[in-house]
Structure 1
Amino acid sequence: MTMTPSRPAATPPTGAVPAGDGGRPVVPASGRLHPLGLAEVQITDGFWARRQDVNRTATLGHIEHWLEREGWLPNFDLATQGGLPEGRRGREFSDSEVYKLLEAMSWELGRRPDPGLEERFHAIVRRVAAAQEPDGYVSTMFGRPGQGDRYSDLEWGHELYCQGHLMQAAVARARTGHPDDLLVQVARASADHVCEVFGPAGNQGVCGHAEIEVGLAELGRALDEPRYLRQAALFVERRGHGTLADIEWGRSYYQDDVPVRDAEVFRGHAVRANYLAAGALDVGVDSRDDALVEAVARQWARTTAARTYVTGGQGSHHQDEAFGEDFVLPPDRAYSETCAAVGSVMVAWRLLLARGDARYADAVERALFNVVATSPADDGRAFYYANTLHQRVPGEPAATDVASARAESSLRAPWFHVSCCPPNVARTFASLAAYVATVDHGGLQLHQYATSEIRVTLPSGAPVAVDVETAYPADGRVRVRIVEAPSGRWALTLRVPAWSPTATLTVDDGTARTVPAGSVAVPDLRTGSVVVLDLDTSPRFLRPDDRIDAVRGCVAVQRGPEVLCVESVDLPGGRDVADLRVDPSVPPREVDGRVVVRGVVVDHGRTAPWPYAPGGATPGSRTAQVDGEAAIDVPLVAYHDWASRGPSTMRVWMPTT
Structure 2
Amino acid sequence: MTTPKPAGNPLATAGLPPDAGPAVPGPGAVSSLRPLGLDRVLLDDGGLLGQWRRRNAEHTLPHCLERLESSGNLDNLRAAAGDPGGHEFAGMWFADSDVYKTLEAALWELATPGADPRLRDFAGDTVALLARAQQADGYLNSYFTVAEPDQRWLKPVWSHELYCAGHLIQAAVAAGRTGTSPELVEVARRLADLLVERFSRVEEVCGHPEIETALAELYRLTGHRPYLDLARRFLDLRGRGLLDHGRFGPRYHQDHVPLREATEVAGHSVRQLYLLAGMVDVAVETGDLALLAAAERLWDDACRTRTYVTGAHGSRHRDEAYGDPYELPPDRAYAETCASIASFHLSWRLLLATGRARYADEMERVLLNGVAAAVSQDGRHFFYSNPLHLRTGHSNAGEEAAGHRLPWYSCACCPPNIARLMASLPAYLATGDAGGVQLHLYAGATIDTGAARVEVRTSYPWQGRVELTVASRTAEPWTLALRVPSWCDSHTLLIGGEPVEASPEDGYLRLTRAWGDGTGVVLDLAMPARQVRPHPRVDAVRGCVTLARGPLVYCLEQHDLPEGTVLEDVRLHPRGPLRTSGGDASPVVITASGSALDGVAGAPLYTSEGGDETAGPALALTAVPYFLWGNRSEGPMRVWIPVADAG
With normalisation by structure 1, the TM-score equals 0.92
What is aligned with 1:456?
449
Q: Please say if residues 76 and 140 of structure 1, whose CA atoms lie closer than 8 Å, have aligned partners that are also in contact.
A: yes
Matched residues in 1 for 2:147 and 2:86: separation?
8
What is aligned with 1:81?
82
- Which whole-Å deviations, capped at 9, do the CAs of 1:211-257 have from their partners, x for residues lacking one? 00011110110111111000000001111110001222211111111
Specify the SS of the correspondent of 1:39: helix
Specify the SS of the correspondent of 1:529: strand
Matched residues in 2 for 1:515 and 1:74: separation?
58
Alignment of 1:129-528 (within 5 A): 129-143=131-145, 146-178=148-180, 181-199=182-200, 202-393=201-392, 405-457=398-450, 463-513=451-501, 515-516=503-504, 518-524=507-513, 525-528=515-518
Q: Please say if residues 395 and 647 of structure 1, whose CA atoms lie closer than 8 Å, have aligned partners that are also in contact.
A: no
Instruction: Decide whether aligned partners of structure 1 residues 604 and 267 sit closer, same or farther in structure 2, where only a CA change above 3 A counts.
Output: farther
Matched residues in 2 for 1:546 and 1:373: separation?
28
Instruction: Decide whether aligned partners of structure 1 residues 594 and 82 sit closer, same or farther in structure 2, where only a CA change above 3 A counts.
Output: closer
- Which whole-Å deviations, capped at 9, do the CAs of 1:548-599 have from their partners, x for residues lacking one? 0000110001111110000011111162210110011124221465311110
Matched residues in 1 for 2:217 and 2:338: separation?
19
TM-superposed deviation, 1:444: 0.5
Matched residues in 2 for 1:229 and 1:3: separation?
22
Kindly provide the amino acid, as one letter, of the partner of residue 138 in structure 1: L
Matched residues in 2 for 1:293 and 1:20: separation?
21
Matched residues in 2 for 1:255 and 1:85: separation?
40
What is aligned with 1:401?
none
Kindly provide the amino acid, as one letter, of the partner of residue 595 in structure 1: I
Instruction: Decide whether aligned partners of structure 1 residues 209 and 253 sit closer, same or farther in structure 2, where only a CA change above 3 A counts.
Output: same
Instruction: Decide whether aligned partners of structure 1 residues 293 and 43 sit closer, same or farther in structure 2, where only a CA change above 3 A counts.
Output: same
Deviates more, 1:442-451 or 1:388-397: 388-397
Matched residues in 2 for 1:234 and 1:363: separation?
29
Q: Please say if residues 599 and 634 of structure 1, whose CA atoms lie closer than 8 Å, have aligned partners that are also in contact.
A: yes
Kindly provide the amino acid, as one letter, of the partner of residue 636 in structure 1: A
Q: Please say if residues 165 and 211 of structure 1, whose CA atoms lie closer than 8 Å, have aligned partners that are also in contact.
A: yes
TM-superposed deviation, 1:11: 11
What is aligned with 1:603?
598
TM-superposed deviation, 1:440: 1.1
TM-superposed deviation, 1:492: 0.3
What is aligned with 1:49?
50
Kindly provide the amino acid, as one letter, of the partner of residue 379 in structure 1: D
Matched residues in 2 for 1:338 and 1:291: separation?
30
Kindly provide the amino acid, as one letter, of the partner of residue 156 in structure 1: W
Instruction: Decide whether aligned partners of structure 1 residues 267 and 87 sit closer, same or farther in structure 2, where only a CA change above 3 A counts.
Output: same
Q: Please say if residues 435 and 478 of structure 2, whose CA atoms lie closer than 8 Å, have aligned partners that are also in contact.
A: yes
Matched residues in 2 for 1:587 and 1:297: separation?
39
Q: 1:566 aligns with which of 540, 547, 556?
A: 556
1:26 aligns with 2:18: no
What is aligned with 1:460?
none
What is aligned with 1:121?
123
Kindly provide the amino acid, as one letter, of the partner of residue 467 in structure 2: R
What is aligned with 1:622?
614
1:647 aligns with 2:634: yes
TM-superposed deviation, 1:397: 8.5
Specify the SS of the correspondent of 2:481: strand
Matched residues in 1 for 2:391 and 2:122: separation?
42
- Identity rate, percent: 42
Q: Please say if residues 18 and 37 of structure 2, whose CA atoms lie closer than 8 Å, have aligned partners that are also in contact.
A: no
Kindly provide the amino acid, as one letter, of the partner of residue 496 in structure 2: D
TM-superposed deviation, 1:329: 0.4
Matched residues in 2 for 1:148 and 1:3: separation?
50
Q: 1:536 aligns with which of 517, 522, 526?
A: 526
What is aligned with 1:402?
none
Matched residues in 2 for 1:86 and 1:529: separation?
62
Alignment of 1:57-76 (within 5 A): 57-76=58-77
What is aligned with 1:15?
none
1:554 aligns with 2:549: no
- Which whole-Å deviations, capped at 9, do the CAs of 1:502-541 have from their partners, x for residues lacking one? 1111111112536457111111133211111111121100
Matched residues in 1 for 2:362 and 2:86: separation?
43
Q: Please say if residues 17 and 36 of structure 2, whose CA atoms lie closer than 8 Å, have aligned partners that are also in contact.
A: no
Q: Please say if residues 277 and 296 of structure 1, whose CA atoms lie closer than 8 Å, have aligned partners that are also in contact.
A: yes
- Which whole-Å deviations, capped at 9, do the CAs of 1:383-432 have from their partners, x for residues lacking one? 0001000000367889xxxxxx5333210000000010000000000001
Matched residues in 1 for 2:258 and 2:477: separation?
45
Kindly provide the amino acid, as one letter, of the partner of residue 640 in structure 1: F
What is aligned with 1:38?
38
Matched residues in 2 for 1:214 and 1:203: separation?
20
Instruction: Decide whether aligned partners of structure 1 residues 512 and 600 sit closer, same or farther in structure 2, where only a CA change above 3 A counts.
Output: farther
Specify the SS of the correspondent of 1:575: coil
Specify the SS of the correspondent of 1:118: helix
Matched residues in 2 for 1:7 and 1:119: separation?
42
Kindly provide the amino acid, as one letter, of the partner of residue 608 in structure 2: A
Q: Please say if residues 8 and 455 of structure 1, whose CA atoms lie closer than 8 Å, have aligned partners that are also in contact.
A: no
What is aligned with 1:627?
none
Matched residues in 2 for 1:259 and 1:410: separation?
39
1:631 aligns with 2:618: yes
Matched residues in 2 for 1:3 and 1:492: separation?
16
Specify the SS of the correspondent of 2:154: coil
Q: Please say if residues 64 and 102 of structure 2, whose CA atoms lie closer than 8 Å, have aligned partners that are also in contact.
A: yes
Matched residues in 1 for 2:60 and 2:88: separation?
27
Q: Please say if residues 24 and 34 of structure 2, whose CA atoms lie closer than 8 Å, have aligned partners that are also in contact.
A: no
TM-superposed deviation, 1:153: 0.7
Instruction: Decide whether aligned partners of structure 1 residues 274 and 494 sit closer, same or farther in structure 2, where only a CA change above 3 A counts.
Output: same
RMSD of aligned alpha carbons = 2.4
Matched residues in 2 for 1:112 and 1:385: separation?
31
Instruction: Decide whether aligned partners of structure 1 residues 335 and 8 sit closer, same or farther in structure 2, where only a CA change above 3 A counts.
Output: farther
- Which whole-Å deviations, capped at 9, do the CAs of 1:460-513 have from their partners, x for residues lacking one? xxx111101100001100111112253112110000001111111111111253
Matched residues in 2 for 1:277 and 1:572: separation?
46
Matched residues in 1 for 2:138 and 2:571: separation?
61
TM-superposed deviation, 1:77: 0.6
Q: Please say if residues 597 and 633 of structure 1, whose CA atoms lie closer than 8 Å, have aligned partners that are also in contact.
A: yes
- Which whole-Å deviations, capped at 9, do the CAs of 1:600-630 have from their partners, x for residues lacking one? 111244433342334xx22x52222xxxxx2
Matched residues in 1 for 2:212 and 2:347: separation?
17
Q: Please say if residues 11 and 436 of structure 2, whose CA atoms lie closer than 8 Å, have aligned partners that are also in contact.
A: no
Matched residues in 1 for 2:184 and 2:114: separation?
18
Matched residues in 2 for 1:85 and 1:388: separation?
41
Kindly provide the amino acid, as one letter, of the partner of residue 529 in structure 1: T
Gaps of 5+ in 1: 13-17, 399-404, 458-462, 625-629
